[in-house]
Structure 1
Amino acid sequence: MTQLNMTEVAKRLDGANIPLTIADATRPDMPLCYVNPAFCTATGYDSEQVIGKNCRFLQGDLDNDTARLKMRRGLAQRTGFQVVFRNKRADGSTFDNLVIIEPLTDAEGELLYVVGSQFVLKDGMQAEQTNSAGQGIVREIDKLLQLNERLRATSRQALARSMAASVKLWLER
């Protein structure tokens, strides 16, 4: 793999409606070297504010110890994984961020880049909010929501892997 051509990356990924980031794993602290406009919309930050920073700036003072540990382990294994972080937007509002990570390595397995596809998670329906409905109905709704979330997660993973594979192909040219 070679260095990423950021002009080419931007030309291909700027139009994606999924928030995407690429971090340079060859530099200390893995700074972001690319974010697409969808990332800027989701977080409220301009690309100029975040390029050169590690993504952890989104965490602010929020407790993400478990997620950070999962991130370190996943990167050490050099395989794709997903993790949910509690993040802060530029305006200070918080959101749950499902991040699907695809590490990009060279032929020797050295980590070069980390592609992150990000999905803002919405609050799910809670049984306490449906007191007027019977518990049986609530359980059935929960089952449907879980099935829907599993289907959406599978689609997100496939989309994230597809984006990462595209970047990898560009690197191998």
Structure 2
Amino acid sequence: MTENYLHDVDETERLIVEYGLSGSHAEKKRIEGRILDETIGTAYRENAPKETGFPSGTPLLAALLKLHMDTEEEEMLGLIEQEIGAVTDGFVEVADFGLRPLPYAAYFDLMDYADYFESRDPSIGRYFRLRTFEELGAFDDKGLLRHYESENGLIEGLSEILHDYLRKMHDSIR
């Protein structure tokens, strides 16, 4: 099944793909344990960071635009623009892990994983893109994220500044 393109990957990468392709809840739980063992070991099981989810919709878009404004590295700008496209199109799901695979990876390793999985399983590729942005602190400003949520849970629109920035960014990409 997945072995066709997994002959050149390490065990963790193989397990992450298996997790993404698994349709069974019991199988996902079993694979989560194996991912945990491969990444931080059984001795640290109690300290394993739980997956808490990522912002979505307008709060995510606002955080990405702010990160894009503050970034100069070309490779990172491309990754951010790719995620902005996923957010505005709304077609790519995000893989859901109960426990974080590679919980202590640096942002550049997470970028490599995002790139690696993008062509194999877009939902896992998107998961690692979001983890990259999280590692860079894009979601640390809880005030920014809350600013775009209303009292009733509905998402309000972007500020005029962010809206203009998004429009200019789209015009420059075309």
Q: Give the TM-score taking structure 1 as reference length.
A: 0.25
Q: Give the TM-score taking structure 2 as reference length.
A: 0.25
Identify which of structures 1 and 2 has the higher relative contact order when contacts are C-alpha pairs closer than 8 Å and 6+ apart: 2
Higher relative helix content: 2
Higher relative strand content: 1
